[in-house]
Each structure stands twice: as structure tokens, then as C-alpha cells.
């Protein structure tokens, strides 16, 4: 199948357990919880998104005819050496990521990570699963490597998720015009509930993508 990619870029993972790790980001176009149009934001299921994932016109974006072609484009961003790592995100990557693409990325030597809202099934073989639940949705993915909950989210309180089979649980402060206050609230919550660890979005303070 073909893939609609908003953008492809090389940066450091800025969030969660693998924060600081060099990675190629594969940002798929489209999401099942928001159209991506500002006019629809208030009525979307997910209303706080910090990302442009509309269309295929971002840096490195485009339509890729098949999995080997997209994997080659991902590999072209890797500088050589280290442990090649690709983070599949979006938009919602589970709308497009399939077994053929996971296999093609593995064939290029990449470890494959995914950032997902967890509402859709994933293909087998993904090496690192990060689920970020959204209030008002039902999780299809209830196990993985990290659960990264944006906080605060009325209707998605942390205690709703602690029974799930994730290796780590993170709270990431909601980035809106109150990010400082949300960060202090996360600090307080993690101190009182040490199952939860803080995830700060380091790329935003570093001024990198």
C-alpha cells in the first residue's frame, strides 16, 4: 500500500523514556481524533494537539508508493553509526503503519518505535510502543513499553490507567498557555504517586523539531 507522510526529519526524541536519543521521525498525515483543521478543534475528540499533520507538504513529506521506498527515505536521514532508530508518529501512525513497513524498516537496520493514541490496533513487530491515551476514547492497545499521559485531562485521570501492562508510566504536562502550572501539578502528582514519572518535552525548550 502507499503511505501519506506529512514530514520526515532527524532530531532527538524529546519525550518519555527514550528522551535524548537520536531518531528519524516519520510523521504520518492524518489522525482519527482530529481533522487537523483549527476550525474543527473545539469539536474534536482530541482538542489539545500541538502538531501539524495535515497533508504531505512538510519537510521530507510526500506520498510513498510502497514500504521499501518509504524505508529508503527514512534511512537516507540516518547519519551512520549508532543504533538506527525511527519514531513513527503523526497524526495517528496506526492508520497507516503496517507489517510491510515494519519489515522494510527492520531490513534497513532500524529499531521501530511508535507514538500512538492507542485507539487502533498496531501491526506485530513494533519494537517500542508508547501509548498516549486521550479522554473520551477506548484503548485498543493496553500493553506496551510506556504509557505517556498528558496531564491534566478531565476524564483521563492517571488512576484509570495504572492497572495496564506498560513498563513505565509518564505524565507529560499539557502544553497550552498554562504549561508552567501544569508542570508544577505533574511534579506534585509524581511525588505523591511514584509509579508515575515526569516527561518534559525537551525539544520545545531546545528549539529543535
Ligand X SMILES: C[S@@+](CC[C@H](N)C(=O)[O-])C[C@H]1O[C@@H](n2cnc3c(N)ncnc32)[C@H](O)[C@@H]1O
d(CA 110, CA 134): 28
Among 3, 4, 7, 13, binds ligand 2KA (CB under 6 A): 13
Q: Which residues are bridge partners to 172 per DSSP?
A: 150
Q: Name which of residues 65 to 124 contact ligand X (CB under 6 A).
A: 89-90, 92, 115-117
91 is in an annotated binding site: yes
* Residue among 178 and 195 whose Cβ is closer to ligand SF4: 178
Q: Name which of residues 67 to 126 contact ligand 2KA (CB under 6 A).
A: 89, 115
CB of 193 to ligand 2KA, least distance (A): 23
In the set 6, 15, 46, 182, the catalytic residue is 46
* Residue among 110 and 151 whose Cβ is closer to ligand X: 151
Using left for φ > 0, alpha for ψ between -120 and 50, and beta otherwise, residue 33 falls in: alpha
10 Å CB burial of residue 186 (0-12, 13-18, 19+) is buried
Among 31, 74, 129, 141, binds ligand X (CB under 6 A): 31
The answer for residues whose C-beta is within 8 angstroms of residue 20's C-beta and 6 or more apart is 12, 13, 202
Q: Tell me whether residue 25 is one of the annotated catalytic residues.
A: yes
In the set 28, 49, 64, 190, the catalytic residue is 49
Q: Tell me whether residue 142 is one of the annotated catalytic residues.
A: no
Q: Tell me whether residue 28 is one of the annotated catalytic residues.
A: no
d(CA 66, CA 121): 20
Which residue stretch of 1-9, 73-81, 104-112, 171-179 sits at the interface with ligand X (rule: CB under 6 A)?
171-179
Q: How many alpha carbons fall within 13 Å on the CB side of residue 186?
A: 25
d(CA 53, CA 91): 5
172 binds ligand X (CB under 6 A): yes
Task: Point out which residues bind ligand 2KA (CB under 6 A).
Answer: 11-15, 51, 89, 115, 203, 209
Amino acid at each position: 500500500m502507499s503511505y501519506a507522510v506529512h514530514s520526515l526529519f532527524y532530531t532527538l526524541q524529546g519525550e518519555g523514556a527514550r528522551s535524548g536519543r537520536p531518531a528519524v521521525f516519520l510523521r504520518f498525515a492524518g489522525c482519527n481524533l482530529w481533522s487537523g483543521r483549527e476550525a474543527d478543534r473545539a469539536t474534536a475528540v482530541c482538542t489539545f494537539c500541538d502538531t501539524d499533520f495535515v497533508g504531505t507538504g512538510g519537510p521530507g513529506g510526500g506520498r510513498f508508493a510502497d514500504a521499501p521506498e518509504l524505508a529508503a527515505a527514512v534511512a537516507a536521514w540516518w547519519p551512520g553509526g549508532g543504533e538506527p532508530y525511527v519514531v513513527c508518529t503523526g497524526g495517528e501512525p496506526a492508520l497507516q503503519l503496517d507489517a510491510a513497513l515494519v519489515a522494510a524498516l527492520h531490513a534497513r537496520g532500524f529499531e521501530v518505535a511508535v507514538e500512538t493514541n492507542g485507539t487502533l490496533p498496531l501491526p506485530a513487530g513494533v519494537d517500542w510502543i508508547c501509548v498516549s491515551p486521550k479522554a473520551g476514547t477506548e484503548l485498543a492497545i493496553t500493553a506496551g513499553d510506556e504509557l505517556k499521559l498528558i496531564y491534566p485531562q478531565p476524564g483521563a485521570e492517571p488512576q484509570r490507567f495504572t492497572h495496564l501492562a506498560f513498563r513505565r508510566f509518564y505524565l507529560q504536562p499539557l502544553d497550552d498557555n498554562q504549561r508552567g502550572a501544569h508542570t508544577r501539578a505533574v511534579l506534585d502528582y509524581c511525588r505523591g504517586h511514584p509509579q508515575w514519572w515526569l516527561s518534559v518535552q525537551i525539544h520545545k525548550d531546545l528549539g529543535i523539531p
